[in-house]
Amino acid sequence: MGPRDLPPVDALAAQVGAPRAVAVAAARAVLAERRAELLQGATGEADLAARARAWAEDAERPRLRRVLNATGVIVHTNLGRAPLATAARAAIVRASEGYSNLELDLDTGERGSRHDHIAGLLRDLTGAEDAIAVNNCAGATLLAAAALAGPGRELIVSRGQLVEIGGGFRVPDVIAQAGARLVEVGTTNRTRRADYEQAIGPGTGAILRAHPSNFRQLGFVQAVEIEELCELGVPVIDDVGSGVLADEIELLRDEPPVRRSVRAGAALVCFSGDKLLGGPQAGLIVGRADAVAAARAHPLARALRLDKLGLAALEATLQLYRDPQRARREIPVLAMLTADEETLRERAQRLAAAIGAPAVVVTATARVGGGALPLLELPGPAVAVELPGVGPDELAARLRAADPPVLGRIEDGRLLLDPRSLADDELQLVARAFR
């Protein structure tokens, strides 16, 4: 068979058994692929109908899919960061079933604000005077800078905090987009209170303290604490990053807590909803009523606003924090962080037993991820799997092709499956992927 002998598109599409648009696209793609093969000298027959059916089946599969995270990285950026609590998932379903009172005051029948659904909760949980939510923490910092320091006003930042985090997000670029003029103070490793004092002038709009994410300085370093910054007489924007509301968890002591910045008097405190807070992707802004009002009224606030499904999940997650013990049990990120050795070992043994002979329980180290606590190690059990004649890279690829896909990590030439980042009901799904 040569390229001229290939069947017409319509004839092949009729054999696919999919909606016509998909079937035609599948036929065209398969015929183009086969034509290229023949021009390169391929011989023999090819089951074009089977190829087209497989193409159509893949095309109709959702691109955004559930993944089983056995990497041991709890807040995994590539896997959507924090898994949602049951209450948050249920809230999304309720909000998506029909219409909602997103911007309607049910008491008066007049137009309301979408921020009202979470503002009261955030005031109660953080001690702030007011609060709003936008679509992510980068957006929150951009909005805060634009509201308090732009356009043309000065925004003072320590040189040690002019960092770049994931995805090429750079603090100086955010300041520029906000319309503010960057004023750098201090040195890369040491910034003192006097550096800020000397930089403050008539054109100063605010001071920005930026969370360093995965970047850490060790050794001969010095930074000015939030309490001192708030004593300098100009508004302070504090980007605390990961959103720690569970202050009582000892493992989180090295992340800046939201309540501390609010108590210190920061004008605006920005943090994520989808990292250590354990909720949906969101950027939360809490602080003084006048500063929050300025952010709420800024034109960027509409462009960055959070949708109804995100607000529903965020409200449900924040409600859990009213009871700290319940939050630790029901918010997956907090439960994974605080899981005890006995629970993890029992989970690892169950997973190894379900997989069978190639699997053994070993000691490994999990990570927080998501730019939070980069130096923190979480030792615990993991399941190592080695199959004769199958390298770890090939094994990992096969597991990614499972339904649902399974992601582990490769260490010391073997594939590890970490139970810390797996829910109890996911263990059998992982084992089924091997079978």
Last residue of a domain, one of 275, 295, 330: 330
In terms of C-beta density within 10 A (0-12 exposed, 13-18 middle, 19 or more buried), how is residue 123 classed?
A: middle
In terms of C-beta density within 10 A (0-12 exposed, 13-18 middle, 19 or more buried), how is residue 55 classed?
A: buried
Pick from 4-18, 212-226, 377-391: least confident: 212-226
d(C-alpha 43, C-alpha 57), whole Å: 26
- Shared-domain flag, residues 339 and 324: no
Name the band, by pLDDT with cuts 50, 70 and 90, for residue 352.
very high
Give, in degrees to the nearest 5, the angle at Cα 264 between 164 and 157.
30
Phi, psi of 387 (to 5 degrees): -105, 130
Q: Yes or no: say if 158 and 191 are a contact pair by the CB < 8 Å rule.
A: yes
Last residue of a domain, one of 311, 330, 349: 330
Q: What is the model's pLDDT at position 376?
A: 86
Q: What is the model's pLDDT at position 9?
A: 95
- Shared-domain flag, residues 290 and 359: no
DSSP state of 15: T
Length of the chain (residues): 435
What's the pLDDT tens digit per position in 181-230? 999 999 988 999 999 999 999 999 999 998 877 667 777 778 889 999 99
- Shared-domain flag, residues 204 and 268: yes
- Shared-domain flag, residues 312 and 361: no
Q: Is the peptide bond before 83 cis (omega within 30 degrees of 0)?
A: no
- Shared-domain flag, residues 314 and 298: yes
Domain harbouring 322, CATH code: 3.40.640.10
- Shared-domain flag, residues 133 and 15: no
To which H or E segment does residue 126 belong?
helix 116-126
Name the band, by pLDDT with cuts 50, 70 and 90, for residue 1.
low
**Is the per-residue pLDDT at 280 higher than 80?**
yes
Nearest to residue 413, comparing CAs of 398, 399, 432, 394?
Answer: 394
- Shared-domain flag, residues 45 and 188: no
Q: What is the model's pLDDT at position 162?
A: 86
Last residue of a domain, one of 314, 330, 346: 330
- Shared-domain flag, residues 289 and 398: no
d(C-alpha 46, C-alpha 50), whole Å: 9
Q: What are the tokens at 286? A: 């809490």
Name the band, by pLDDT with cuts 50, 70 and 90, for residue 69.
very high
Of 375 and 300, more confident: 300
- Shared-domain flag, residues 300 and 382: no
Q: Which domain holds residue 298?
A: 86-330
What is the distance in angstroms between the CA of the first residue and the CA of the last residue of the chain?
A: 39
- Shared-domain flag, residues 319 and 338: no
Beta strands 236-241 and 268-272, pairing class: parallel
Mean pLDDT of 90-104: 96
Q: What phi-psi label fits residue 269: left (phi over 0), alpha (psi between -120 and 50 degrees) or beta?
A: beta
Q: How many domains does the chain have?
A: 3
pLDDT above 90 as % of the chain:
80
d(C-alpha 67, C-alpha 381), whole Å: 21
Q: What is the model's pLDDT at position 161?
A: 87
Longest CA span, the chain: 82
- Shared-domain flag, residues 261 and 130: yes
- Shared-domain flag, residues 259 and 239: yes
DSSP state of 349: H
Q: What is the model's pLDDT at position 137?
A: 92
DSSP symbols for 70-85 = -SSBSSBGGGTBSPPP
Domain harbouring 401, CATH code: 3.90.1150.180
Tell me the three state secondary structure of residue 138: helix
In terms of C-beta density within 10 A (0-12 exposed, 13-18 middle, 19 or more buried), how is residue 244 classed?
A: buried
